């Protein structure tokens, strides 16, 4: 037995580990199911923990799902802050933004579905928190990026509302409509070559649509 393994664990450390194991199990189930239609018993079984610990750590399923989004916040917003602070031209920022969104949802395919599920069924407090922490920062970043591209003479005037829905909707469909991708096109969203193809063609569509037109 090593010295580290013989050292008693602190209750705080045990709690952090137990909480993390449950969240990891819930993420796996979210990715497999495509939504949160699974039971807390399934989460506990996947994590190898007692179901009572879900209530102990989170209070309930909705709070557990909200905790997942809270942990994912930095993964979502960190790249946006880095891009916004960079001196890259707007076109390069947009290219990196689109690539980053695809990579993010490839790693966390449950993300958009979970956000909208919680917005639909949560109370006002949780809904406003999710909106302010995860949705508005993306909308604001994209609006600022479009404005920067317009000021640089690279982009035409583009409606941020329409841009957001088209871009996010297209990327989300790659992962949320996995059956369509698989059976309709014979492709898999978890195939790196498929994602590369999607990024390349999406960039072409978005960039050609946003670029300033010479008249």
Any bridge partners for residue 211, and if so which? 155
Q: Are 28 and 94 contained in the same domain?
A: no
Token pair belonging to 23: 């969240």
**Global pTM?**
0.83
Higher-pLDDT residue of 2 and 51 is 51
Q: Indicate whether 146 and 190 sit together in one domain.
A: yes
Domain extent at residue 50: 10-59
> pLDDT tens for residues 157-214?
999 999 999 999 999 888 888 888 889 999 988 898 999 999 999 888 888 888 887 6
Does residue 195 contact residue 102 with C-beta atoms inside 8 Å?
yes
Assess whether 119 and 18 both reside in one domain. Answer: no
Q: Is position 164 within any domain?
A: yes
Question: pLDDT tens digits for 48-61?
Answer: 999 999 889 999 99
> For the residues of 82-137, what is the DSSP string, one character each?
HHHTS---HHHHHHHHHHHHHHHHHH-TTHHHHHHHHHHHS-HHHHHHHIIIIIHH
Same domain, 134 and 107: yes
How many independent structural domains does the chain possess? Answer: 2
The secondary structure element, H or E, covering residue 198 is helix 192-210
**Residue that terminates a domain, selected from 43, 59, 75:** 59
Task: Say whether pLDDT at 2 is over 90.
Answer: no
Q: Give yes or no: residues 179 and 155 share one domain.
A: yes
Determine, yes or no, domain membership for 144. Answer: yes
- Is 9 a residue whose pLDDT tops 50? no
Residue 4 lies in a domain: no
Domain annotation covers residue 175: yes
Is residue 1, in this structure, part of any structural domain at all?
Answer: no
- pLDDT the model gives residue 3: 41
What gap in Å lies between CA 152 and CA 208, rounded to an integer? 16
Q: Are residues 87 and 23 in the same domain?
A: no
Residues 206 and 152 both lie in one domain:
yes
Looking at the structure, tell me whether residues 17 and 74 fall in a common domain.
Answer: no
Look at residue 3 and tell me if it is in a domain: no
Q: Are both 125 and 31 inside the same structural domain?
A: no
Helix then strand then coil, % of the chain, to nearest 5: 75, 0, 20
Please give the pLDDT value at position 34.
Answer: 83
Predicted local confidence at residue 15, as pLDDT: 63
Confidence of residue 12 (pLDDT cuts 50, 70, 90): very low
Residues 46 and 140 in one domain: no
Does residue 46 sit in the same domain as residue 70?
A: no
**Whole-number pLDDT of residue 10:** 38
Structural domain includes residue 185? yes
Residue 179 is part of a domain; what is its CATH number? 1.10.357.10
């Amino acid at each position: 037995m090593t010295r580290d393994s013989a050292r008693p664990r602190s209750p705080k450390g045990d709690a952090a580990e137990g909480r993390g194991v449950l969240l990891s199990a819930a993420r796996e189930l979210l990715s497999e199911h495509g939504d949160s239609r699974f039971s807390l018993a399934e989460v506990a079984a996947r994590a190898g923990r007692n179901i009572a610990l879900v209530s102990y750590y989170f209070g309930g399923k909705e709070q557990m799902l909200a905790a997942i989004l809270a942990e994912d916040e930095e993964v979502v917003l960190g790249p946006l802050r880095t891009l916004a602070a960079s001196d890259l031209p707007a076109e390069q920022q947009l290219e990196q933004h689109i690539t980053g969104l695809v990579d993010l949802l490839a790693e966390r395919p449950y993300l958009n579905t979970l956000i909208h599920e919680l917005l639909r069924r949560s109370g006002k407090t949780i809904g406003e928190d999710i909106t302010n922490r995860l949705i508005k920062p993306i909308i604001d970043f994209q609006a600022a990026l479009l404005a920067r591209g317009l000021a640089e003479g690279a982009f035409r005037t583009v409606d941020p509302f329409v841009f957001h829905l088209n871009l996010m909707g297209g990327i989300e469909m790659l992962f949320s409509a996995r059956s369509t991708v698989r059976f309709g096109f014979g492709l898999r969203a978890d195939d790196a070559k498929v994602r590369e193809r999607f990024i390349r063609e999406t960039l072409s569509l978005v960039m050609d649509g946003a670029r300033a037109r010479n008249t």
